[in-house]
Amino acid sequence: MTGLAWVAEAVLLGCLLSWRWIGLSAIKPAWARVLLRAGAGAAGGMGLVSCLFFLLGVLAGSPAAAMVVELALLAWAALDFFRRRGSAPRMGVAAGRTPVLLAVSAVLVVAIATGAIAAGWQFNPLGNWDAWAIWNLRARFLASGAGLASRAWSPALGQMTHPDYPMLVSALVGRCWAFSHSVSPIAPQAVGYAFFLALLALVGGGVAALRGPVLGLLAALVLAASPALVHEVPAQYADVPLACYFAGAAVFAMLDEPIASGILAGFAAWTKDEGALFLVVFGAAILIFRRQAFSRAAAGAMPGIALLLVFKLGLAHANSSSLLASSLPGAAQRVTEGSRYGAILASFGRELAGLGVGWYHPVLPLAAAALALRFDRSRAREAAFAGVVALGLLAGYFGVYSVTSNDLAWQLQTSLGRLLVQVWPLLLLAAFACLRVPQLAAATPVPRKRKAAVKERRTRA
């Protein structure tokens, strides 16, 4: 149980800090503000304590110091919260009414998704292969103290465990195990679930803040009812945390909160190698669409980038297993093989279809919403921002597959589905950003034929 308590503590710390530092007081409806602060708080808090534990508990060799700093920060943030409570200005534009039935549906779908995730916890409490062969294995080393933590990136582990992968998830789980003196699977399970809820909160709250409560709830519904995403949560991999950081960074950029956006983008880089590609694509998108926010977003991302560089260039330099680096020899020949592109495209098609289950595919509710609400072209720029980031990532993944020296079929089969899960929330964000707000659609002028009929009835009367 105490492992779970330390996950909760990280989330609470992040929520208090996000309440203190992220200026969302103008956001309406109020629940969107709460969701955004909770989502950013959960994701940011888990990222922050992971960094603190890696720096103080692992590199400085004192898990106790990491715990003391964390608890001191929590005490200060809690005190500050109670001192300032009620003083925050409540302003902003009026938001549409929140449809209660839709909110109830969203809660119901999240509850059902939780049931599906719980089946994974019940039958596979240690998660899937990469959980115990990579992420949680390294967490066990990091939690062991006594000078053994550096084994988490030891070349002796071999390429199979990718000892040079970024450490956010492993350090977070290792921290929970070290602080609780117990290697319980509840900690990594809770970490995965907390990131899943944070992702829903960030996408639902973000769309609600940008486009009103109905679209926000619909976005959360579609995301929570995405079978491939739900399937990845109990796997205890780093893909759901990464998806959360991708979506969070995009949401806060769209809400003109560049520092928060940058912090989450930096955490993405500290989560998985794909996060470094995200930094490049995201930075380019910010330069194109929101140039004035670039320097603040870059400043926010710096801590994550610095930690990544220290780890990659300093600690794990000798055992690099980077897919891109290992693929460079012979890449020139592989890029000229046309059959590879056909295989990659076919696999993209298969895995996109595989985001669903049975007859259900998460594109169906999205299509229903788009058909009913139609698109608001004045919002094309916002949609383009999230869309460019998502498509840039997909193009990057396509490029890596085209040069990989690993067996292409194996590489595609074992990774592409998870890569699409990382990008799926961004695609939803892009789609919902440009759907027409239902309140506006409801207040539409009556079509001509009906208008004439109404006029005729009035004349008769």
Token representation of residue 221: 């519904």
Q: Report in angstroms how near the CB of residue 344 gets to other proteins at its nearest.
A: 24
CB of 378 to other proteins, least distance (A): 4
Least Å from the CB of residue 148 to other proteins: 4
Residue placing its CB nearer to other proteins in the complex, 40 or 316: 316
The answer to whether the beta carbons of residues 153 and 77 sit under 8 Å apart is: no
Q: Which residue of 2, 98, 124, 322 would you call a contact of other proteins, by CB under 8 A? A: 124
Q: How many angstroms separate the Cα of 94 from the Cα of each of 30, 351, 418? A: 10, 41, 39
Is position 176 an interface residue for other proteins (rule: CB under 8 A)? no
List, in order, residues 6 or more apart from 252 with CB less than 8 Å away.
22, 40, 206, 258, 260, 261, 264
Collapse the DSSP code of 370 into the 3-class scheme (helix H, G, I; strand E, B; otherwise coil) and give the result: helix
Q: Which of residues 241-260 bind other proteins (CB under 8 A)?
A: none
Residues from 48 through 87 that contact other proteins (CB under 8 A): none
Report the site for other proteins in 427-456 (rule: CB under 8 A): 436, 438, 440-442, 444-447
371 CB neighbour count, 10 Å cutoff: 8
For residue 400, the tally of other CB atoms under 10 A from its CB is: 19
Q: Which of residues 84-103 bind other proteins (CB under 8 A)?
A: 99, 101-102
Smallest separation, CB 285 to other proteins (Å)? 22
Angle subtended by helix axes 258-269 and 294-309, to nearest 10: 20
Q: Chain centroid to CA 239: how far?
A: 8
Q: Is 170 in the site for other proteins (CB under 8 A)?
A: no
- Residue 165 CB, nearest approach to other proteins (Å): 15
Q: Which two tokens stand for residue 245?
A: 């950081």
Q: What whole-number distance in Å separates Cα of residue 285 and Cα of residue 388?
A: 7
| SS3 (DSSP) at 237 | coil
Question: Does residue 29 have a cis peptide bond before it, meaning omega lies within 30 degrees of 0?
Answer: yes
What are the tokens at 38? 């909770």
Choose between 318 and 395: whose C-beta lies nearer to other proteins: 318
Among 122, 292, 333, 459, binds other proteins (CB under 8 A): 122
Site pattern 187..226 for other proteins (x: CB under 8 A): ---------------------------x---x--xx-xxx
Which of 303, 356 has the CB closer to other proteins? 356
Report the distance separating Cα 117 and Cα 191, nearest Å.
13
Shortest distance, position 225 Cβ to other proteins, whole Å: 4
Q: Counting contacts by CB under 8 A, is residue 151 touching other proteins?
A: yes
The CB-of-303 to other proteins minimum distance in angstroms stands at 28
Binders in 11-40 for other proteins, by CB under 8 A? none
Candidates 3-11, 56-64, 264-272, 373-381; binding stretch for other proteins (CB under 8 A):
373-381
Contact 285, 70 (CB under 8 A): no
Is 184 an interacting residue with respect to other proteins (CB under 8 A)?
no
Intra-chain end-to-end CA distance of the chain, in Å: 72
Can you read off the two tokens belonging to residue 377?
């072209």
Q: Which region among 48-56, 125-133, 241-249, 337-345 touches other proteins (by CB under 8 A)?
A: 125-133
Report how far residue 126's alpha carbon sits from residue 130's, in angstroms, rounded to the nearest whole number.
10
Q: Is residue 182 near other proteins by the rule CB under 8 A?
A: no
Instruction: Please provide the size of the chain in residues.
Output: 461
Q: List binders of other proteins among 288-347 (CB under 8 A).
A: none
Find out whether 98 and 31 touch, Cβ atoms under 8 Å: yes
Residues in contact with other proteins, total (CB under 8 A)?
Answer: 75
- Least distance (Å) from other proteins to the CB of residue 319? 13
Q: Report, in Å, the least distance between residue 2 CB and other proteins.
A: 20
CA distances from 82 to 33, 74, 85, 87, 88 (A): 18, 12, 5, 10, 12
Candidate residues 147, 314, 329, 338; the one interacting with other proteins per rule CB under 8 A: 147
Range 374-413, binding other proteins (CB under 8 A): 374-378
Q: How far is the CB of 429 from other proteins (least distance, A)?
A: 16
Q: Please identify, using beta-carbon distances, which residue of 261 and 411 lies nearer to other proteins.
A: 411
Among 90, 360, 381, 395, binds other proteins (CB under 8 A): 360
List 15, 51, 52, 230, residue binding other proteins (CB under 8 A): 230
Contact 397, 437 (CB under 8 A): no
| Chain-centre distance for alpha carbon 146 | 33
